[in-house]
Structure 1
Amino acid sequence: MKYTTEIEINKPIDRVIALFDNPDNMKEWMEGLQSFEPISGTPGEPGAKSRLKFKMGNREMEMIETVTVRNLPDEFTGTYEAQGASTTVKNSFIKISDSKTKYITEHEFQAKGIMKIVAFLMPGAFKKQSMKFLTAFKNFAESQE
């Protein structure tokens, strides 16, 4: 399953990139994120692996991020492996004006087992969750100096 989401942020592109590129900020906009733990490599650089732990309601989820491309603002791509699923996310940032930035994410989701059925029955849920993260990032970015 492939889909794209995008949002406009009322901040200059350099500020948006600085906020996006700081892993300490992830908890500010990724609902449910409990921890971000580097495993190997230099965080944020191609080949780096990190463990992300989420808590959503009573459910806990862990995923491994592997950075594959870092060429900001044009592209920051990573793969995210979790039990039963793998997602590749390409993040891109486009300068609209001196004070406005477009943030685009392209997702390619691959599921196995029961997750394949969930993805088939509820494809909109994945896009909705991605849009929720984009909106939260926009709100976070716009609240920063």
Structure 2
Amino acid sequence: MKYTSQITIAISQEEVFKKLENIENLPHWQKGLLEITPISGEPGEEGSKMKLQYQIGKQKMEIIQTMMKIDFPNEIQITHDTQDTHNIQKNVLKKTENNQTLWIYENEFKFSSLGLQFLGWIMPSVFKKQTMTNMENFKAFAEKGISIKNNDG
């Protein structure tokens, strides 16, 4: 399953890139993130890996994130792997008028379980909605410093 989402952020491309790549910012805009554990490499650099632990409702999830490409200030490519899913994310940042930034977020999900393949096929809107929520949370954090960190119940 592939899809693209986008949002305009009212700060410079360079600022968006720095806030997006900084792993210390993740808890401020990614709902349910409990813990970040470096596995290998220098966090935030190409080739580095880390374990991200989330709790969404009663479900706990562990994701291995790998930084595939970092091209300041234009692009960040990341993969996320779970037991049943390989997710390729391409984050493209483009300068717009008035020194704002267009964040184009390309997602590709590859599912190994039949259940998730079916869910992705019949309900892609669930994945797209979660992506847009994360993007809106990031926008609020980047522009206004609004964090969801202590508000993700």
Q: Alignment partner of 1:28: what SS?
A: helix
CA contact (8 A) 1:12 1:97 kept: no
Give the match for residue 130 of structure 1. 131
CA contact (8 A) 1:8 1:100 kept: yes
* Alignment partners' CA distance in 2, 1:46 and 1:99: 27
* Segment drifting more, 81-90 vs 96-105: 96-105
Within 5 Å, give how 1:1-145 maps onto structure 2. 1-113=1-113, 114-144=115-145
Letter in structure 1 aligned against 2:42: T
Q: Alignment partner of 1:110: what SS?
A: strand
Question: Deviations for 1:13-54, whole angstroms, at most 9, x for unmatched residues?
Answer: 222122112111100000111111110011121211100011
* Alignment partners' CA distance in 1, 2:11 and 2:32: 25
Q: Which ranges of structure 2 fall in alignment gaps of 5 or more residues? A: 146-153
Letter in structure 2 aligned against 1:7: I
CA contact (8 A) 2:38 2:50 kept: yes
Q: Alignment partner of 2:24: what SS?
A: helix
The number of residues matched between the two structures is 144
* Alignment partners' CA distance in 2, 1:44 and 1:50: 9
CA contact (8 A) 2:14 2:72 kept: no
Q: Alignment partner of 1:136: what SS?
A: helix
Higher fraction of strand: 1
TM-score by length of 1: 0.94
Q: Alignment partner of 1:129: what SS?
A: helix
Alignment RMSD, CA only?
Answer: 1.1
Q: Which ranges of structure 1 fall in alignment gaps of 5 or more residues? A: none
Q: Percent of counterpart pairs with the same letter?
A: 35
Runs of 4+ aligned residues of structure 1 deviating over 3 Å after TM superposition are none
Q: CA deviation at 1:107?
A: 0.6
